[in-house]
Amino acid sequence: MTSIAIIGATGSLGSHVAQQAAAAGNSLSLLVRSPGKLPPEVAARAQVVTADLITTPPATLAQFAEGHDVLVCCAGLVTEAQKFVALVDRVASAAETLPSQARPVCWFMAGAALLDLDTNGRRGVDLPRVRNTYWPHRANFERLLSSDLDWRLLCPGPMVDQPAIGIDRLRISTDCIPAKLPAFAKHLPALLLLPLFAARVPEMIVPYADAASVILANATRGGPMLRKRVGLALPVGMRGKKDQWTGHPKNAA
């Protein structure tokens, strides 16, 4: 049995992580602002801490995380800009105060714009217009690179509340985009690379349930996802749909 601490367990992704973890019989601790939003079957299996992440003292966050096998932080939105950056720093800093033997594996959230697009190491967040919204992903990544935590950074495209595909069918990558661009992309200027990236986004629209499964299947120390950005894409030939997807790169990750 794995002991799992989840921050943001009532959100779109966090709720799937909590439900799958509970169904698998794992030990759960949940930090939420509104415990009434938890499904009864999840709340009944969990130790629930009611708190606002932004105002909770760091020592309380550290105590919440201490001794668990894995800490999953699903809280925050990239559109909250500096508030999102502060949130990730707050959680990472709390985990860093723990002695090494009491630290959990830490999963944080980002988006596909943080993944390498070509062998030059360019990322979606380097491209015009994309960087204006998604720069917090870069800031959070740089924060984690400076940390000695056992962290992993999930970088899906837009996620949807649709039936799971199954992680055995997904394309899963580390550090680079899973829906690969053509080889000539490395020679293109940023303005021409932008539409190629945008065209790949529908391939990376994945169900929340699958994203949650990837997290829970990679919750042990070490392994190939240690200190990596993890990309997700649908099987080759499949393209997802999301109501708000318009083809504009601001919705890309």
Partners of 154 in the β-ladder: 109, 230
What token pair was written down for 208? 């929340």
Q: With CA atoms as reference, report the closest residue to 93 among 68, 123, 60, 52.
A: 60
pLDDT of residue 192: 95
d(CA 156, CA 3): 24
CA atoms within 13 A on the CB side of 49: 18
pLDDT of residue 247: 36
The residue segments making up the domain with residue 181 are 3-251
pLDDT of residue 54: 87
Partners of 73 in the β-ladder: 7
Please return the burial class of 70, using the count of CB atoms within 10 Å of its CB with bins 0-12, 13-18 and 19+. buried
CATH of the domain at 230: 3.40.50.720
Q: What is the pTM of this model?
A: 0.93
pLDDT of residue 118: 93
Please return the burial class of 86, using the count of CB atoms within 10 Å of its CB with bins 0-12, 13-18 and 19+. middle
Does residue 250 or residue 177 have the better pLDDT? Answer: 177
Distance spanning both ends of the chain, measured CA to CA: 33
- CA dist list (Å): 9 to 19, 22, 88, 250: 9, 12, 16, 26
Residue listed under structure tokens 């053509």: 182
Eight-class DSSP state of 175: S
Number of H helices, E strands in the chain: 7, 10
Eight-class DSSP state of 250: G
d(CA 88, CA 200): 27
DSSP 186-218: GGS-HHHHHHHHHHHGGGG-EEHHHHHHHHHHT
pLDDT of residue 242: 73
Q: With CA atoms as reference, report the closest residue to 107 among 218, 238, 31, 247.
A: 218
Question: Number of folded domains in the chain?
Answer: 1
pLDDT of residue 250: 35
pLDDT band at 243 (very low <50, low <70, confident <90, very high): low
pLDDT tens for 230-240 read 999 999 999 99
Query: What radius of gyration do the chain's Cα atoms show?
Result: 18
Residue listed under structure tokens 């080759």: 236
What token pair was written down for 241? 């749909």
CA atoms within 13 A on the CB side of 108: 35
